[in-house]
Amino acid sequence: MIRNFVLCFALVGFVGCNKGTTPKTPKKECCKTALKINITSEPGTLDPRKARGLSDINVIKMFFEGLTRVDCNGAPCCALAESYDLSEDGRFYTFHLRESTWSNGDPLTANDFVYAWKKSLSPNFSSDQAGQLFPIKNAKSIKEGKLPMSFLGVKALDSKTLAVKLENPTPYFLDLLASPVFFPVNAKIDRENPNWAQNSQTFVSNGPFNLSEWKHHNQMVAEKNPHYWDKTSVKMGKIEMAMVDEATGFSLYENKELHWEGSPYGVIPTDALSSLKTHEKLQVKPFLGTYWIRVNTETAPFNHPGFRRALALAIDRNAIIEHVTQGSQIPALGIVPESMGLQKTTLFSDHNTSLAKELFDQTKEELGLKELPEIRLSYANSDRNHRIAQAIQEQWSEAFGIQIALESTETKVYFDRVRNQDYQLACGSWIADYNDPINFLEVFASKNNGTNNTGWENEEFAAQLEESYTIQDDQARKELLAKCEAKLVEEMPVMPIFYFTMLYVQDQNLQDVVLTETGNLDFKWASFRGDIR
């Protein structure tokens, strides 16, 4: 028996409007004033198949849309899928697409989805988030080159009907569909010009906004898309995106030249937090993300789990939160945020210097090291990253008497080096793409996973993770995932530091902005009260 679901947007709880209400449509179709924000740095890409960082993902979601879109409660609701059918065993979806077009007027078809997904899964195509497609039948084997593309469980039945077969029932599949790697790409444009996403003149999209201007490393401008299927819901006529550092961005906000500053595109300068708290201007929201230090486990001495664990145990997370980040973050004593409820107790203790020194000395002896090689801690250049790195540098020096060289690079260069494992230790983070703990764990299923970048893999971990995909009982699945997390913490390919909170400030007249716990920032329904600054 087939069940039919019709998806619809039930938008409640917006930032700036009362819970249980939906935004009122202003008398004017869109506001005259442009929304001005700071995205802090040049996007690494605007191709949804290649997006990785949260900032890039949020920019791309202005321009693109998939079968579902995330609402203000973090739930998937209808977008290009007007409705869908789901088989009783939860493995067969049939999506019925609504009438829609690309920004250049081309009709958007089911084949555009098939084309984009297949391209991401091509073994020779670089797509860090391709692993999100692996719930689709045979997707993983195809990406690994073990099966031909013709075995992929996706088919366009006609121009408006898309059939998808999954490996196993996947309760979070509709959430996944709202991720950029699941977005369609204009097949005709991509075949004619593979570099179409690199400038505004050739850029073609299907979301609420068009890319009208892109001055690289300077500014981007998004304008309302007249071809968007739900254009009547879009109130903003224009979004201007600056690319400046956090200090400059906050200064612009203070001078009323920006309407939004801080999370999820950047951070509020630490020196400003106290005053903002005092005057009750700082907005704080829970965030499903973990700040951690990635470890290149294929270089000595970091190839020894005891050495990695020693460094992790010596870190004083409470001190970093109290004196550096100052944003009500939570010390991370595991990989998965506590709010997801995976563990009943913490997996290790914070700032356990006695055990850390014992492991450190033991590991040095096992490796036959009289002196350590130079250790470099890399990070993307921002004031907060620099302060965190400095704090860890001092803590490790005090605990072990070792010197750590700090290496700050431009964001794009940083991600390129991490992607190529051209680092020893790297400050970074993982933000949930959807609200399920497996999103934090499957990153490490294989060292070849495009978002792993640590060189670590473990057969027992991978087998347990694979088993979890087939378990239907929620509690049993949760217990197995808890074992997976425990194995990760035991091996420590990443050293968790803290669980995020989102800190931001916004113009008091800006309303109906959607910001979810996964860091999804959506201006689709945003407007200004009275249509004035």
Cβ atoms 296, 425 nearer than 8 A? yes
DSSP 324: I
Residues near 36 by Cβ (< 8 Å), separated by ≥ 6? 239, 240, 242, 257, 258, 259, 260
Indicate if 291 and 336 belong to the same structural domain.
yes
| Chain Cα centroid distance, residue 231 | 26
Give pLDDT tens digits for 48-69: 999 988 999 999 999 999 999 9
pLDDT average, residue stretch 296-323: 96
CATH number of the domain bearing residue 376: 3.10.105.10
Indicate if 487 and 523 belong to the same structural domain.
no
DSSP 372: P
Examine the pLDDT at 15 and tell me if it is beyond 70. Answer: no
Q: Where are the beta strands (DSSP E) in 14-80?
A: 35-38, 68-70, 76-78
Confidence band for 27, pLDDT divided at 50, 70 and 90: very low
Confidence band for 5, pLDDT divided at 50, 70 and 90: very low
CATH number of the domain bearing residue 158: 3.40.190.10
Q: Flag whether 77 is in a domain.
A: yes
Examine the pLDDT at 74 and tell me if it is beyond 90. Answer: no
Indicate if 511 and 445 belong to the same structural domain.
no
User: What six digits make up the tokens of 447?
Assistant: 């060292």
Examine the pLDDT at 531 and tell me if it is beyond 80. Answer: no
pLDDT of res. 7: 42
pLDDT of res. 72: 72
pLDDT average, residue stretch 497-506: 96
Residue 182 CA to residue 61 CA, distance in Å, equals 12
Indicate if 7 and 156 belong to the same structural domain.
yes
DSSP-derived 3-state class of residue 20: coil
pLDDT average, residue stretch 105-114: 98
Q: Flag whether 281 is in a domain.
A: no
Instruction: Say what percent of the chain tops pLDDT 90.
Output: 84
Q: Flag whether 176 is in a domain.
A: yes
Q: Flag whether 153 is in a domain.
A: yes
Q: 37, 9, 516: which is closest to 236 by C-alpha?
A: 37
- Only one residue has tokens 């699945």, namely 477
Residue 239 CA to residue 38 CA, distance in Å, equals 10
Cβ atoms 209, 223 nearer than 8 A? yes
Alpha helices in 220-304 (DSSP H): 246-254, 270-278
Indicate if 204 and 312 belong to the same structural domain.
no
pLDDT average, residue stretch 372-401: 95
Q: Flag whether 152 is in a domain.
A: yes
pLDDT of res. 485: 97
Instruction: Provide the domain count of the chain.
Output: 2
Give pLDDT tens digits for 286-300: 899 999 999 999 999
pTM: 0.80
pLDDT average, residue stretch 227-249: 96
Indicate if 54 and 71 belong to the same structural domain.
yes
Residues near 509 by Cβ (< 8 Å), separated by ≥ 6? 528, 529, 530, 532, 533
pLDDT average, residue stretch 431-442: 91
- Choice among 19-23, 51-55, 125-129 with the minimum mean pLDDT: 19-23
Indicate if 481 and 524 belong to the same structural domain.
no
Examine the pLDDT at 375 and tell me if it is beyond 60. Answer: yes
Q: What is the mean pLDDT of the chain?
A: 91
Full domain range(s) for residue 142: 2-242+507-531
pLDDT of res. 533: 43
Q: Which residues make beta-bridge pairs with 37?
A: 241, 260
pLDDT average, residue stretch 134-139: 97
Indicate if 78 and 37 belong to the same structural domain.
yes
Indicate if 106 and 41 belong to the same structural domain.
yes
Confidence band for 494, pLDDT divided at 50, 70 and 90: very high
Examine the pLDDT at 28 and tell me if it is beyond 50. Answer: no
Q: Flag whether 60 is in a domain.
A: yes
pLDDT of res. 184: 98
Residue 296 CA to residue 155 CA, distance in Å, equals 39
Report the amino acid identity of residue 125. Answer: F
pLDDT of res. 25: 40
pLDDT average, residue stretch 140-165: 98
Q: Where are the beta strands (DSSP E) in 8-118?
A: 35-38, 68-70, 76-78, 81-87, 92-97
Q: Flag whether 440 is in a domain.
A: yes
Q: 34, 501, 31: which is closest to 259 by C-alpha?
A: 34
| Chain Cα centroid distance, residue 205 | 20
Indicate if 469 and 524 belong to the same structural domain.
no
Q: Flag whether 318 is in a domain.
A: yes
Indicate if 79 and 184 belong to the same structural domain.
yes
Confidence band for 35, pLDDT divided at 50, 70 and 90: very high
Angle at 431 between CA 430 and CA 435, to 5 degrees: 125
Residue 170 CA to residue 173 CA, distance in Å, equals 5
Examine the pLDDT at 158 and tell me if it is beyond 90. Answer: yes
Indicate if 427 and 330 belong to the same structural domain.
yes
